[in-house]
Amino acid sequence: MHLSFIAFSIAAVFCIRLGISLEAEPRSWSSRWQRALSFFLLPPLLLMTTALAVLLMGTDGYMLGLPVGWIGYLWAIGFLGYAGLRLLGLMVGGWRSLQTVQTYDPFIFQKTANFQKTAGYILDTPALFAAQVGFWNSKLVISRGLLTSCNDAQIEAVLTHEAAHHHYRDTFWFFWMGWLRQATSWLPYSNVLWQELLLLRELRADQWAAQKIDALLLAETLLLVAKDCSSMPPEINCAAFSSAAPASRLEQRIEALLTEAEPFYQGQSIVFIWVFIAVLPLLTLLLHQ
């Protein structure tokens, strides 16, 4: 019975992901964010809770009058074990990145009366680079090349964008989403949805920064920094001002900055819907005898 339960869950998550091609492309950024987040998160979460439910039920007893067995149980152990190893690897990599960052020279930036003093670390490279690195309390890293090549207004634009990533805790949330992506990379549209979320993450940070500084200045600085983005850390542990991304992503960011884009609306009701659907497999514990 466990094997049938697992097969049904896998079929369900494939149907959810394949349903992307049946949906019309949403027009607003908020709709795109909710759509991408829903299709990205629900399938791996459903698989996780399915495996957890099978693991908790064990190999003895009955489910809906049918005996449970070892095959589904071993699949649950294997899947959760693989996911756990990927999580451990990402955590170790992120911890090592933070340890490395804290060996860099510190810096403090406060050039304008309206800009809050910002502290971070200097990456000794001529490349133009700035990013938040870490988890919940991420660390700001800015390259020496950016400090020497950009004027104070441009540096302020970059730092304001990075402050937006810290405000939204992007490094923390995208660490966990990156883990789900790696654990279920075999699901359809995993990379497409990941790239969409990366774009929308940057658009959200751009929009937040544009409320505090001139949007045209931010767009000009983005074009300048985007010319040199050869050495970038992994996007799972890093939220960088510019990264090695398709030209279309950069074009969409510039276009959004030059036009009055509608604000991102992050409704909370959709979160409760995701949680409710994701925990449905755990309710099957009530059917186990």
Round to whole Å and give the CA distance between 195 and 205: 16
Q: Strand 105-109 to strand 130-133: parallel, antiparallel, or no bridges (unpaired)? A: unpaired
249-275 pLDDT tens trace:
788 888 888 886 666 665 556 667 777
Please, are residues 265 and 31 in contact by the beta-carbon 8 Å criterion?
Answer: no
Q: Which residues pair with 62 in a beta bridge?
A: 67
| pLDDT above 70 for 32 | yes
- pLDDT at res. 127: 83
Dihedral angle over CA of 254, 258, 262, 268, nearest 10: 30
104-114 pLDDT tens trace:
989 887 765 55
Round to whole Å and give the CA distance between 92 and 94: 5
Q: Kindly indicate the confidence band of residue 14, based on its pLDDT and cuts at 50, 70 and 90.
A: very high
Ramachandran bin of 64, using left for φ above 0, alpha for ψ from -120 to 50, beta for the remaining angles = left
- pLDDT at res. 262: 67
Mean pLDDT of 214-218: 91
Domain boundaries, the chain: 2-287
Count of Cβ atoms closer than 10 Å to residue 149 Cβ: 16
- pLDDT at res. 49: 92
Among 196, 198, 195, which residue's Cα sits nearest to residue 170?
198
Q: Kindly indicate the confidence band of residue 287, based on its pLDDT and cuts at 50, 70 and 90.
A: low
Distance in Å from the first CA to the final CA of the chain: 12
Round to whole Å and give the CA distance between 67 and 231: 55
The 8-class DSSP code of residue 288 comes to: B
Round to whole Å and give the CA distance between 188 and 177: 16
Please, are residues 145 and 126 in contact by the beta-carbon 8 Å criterion?
Answer: yes
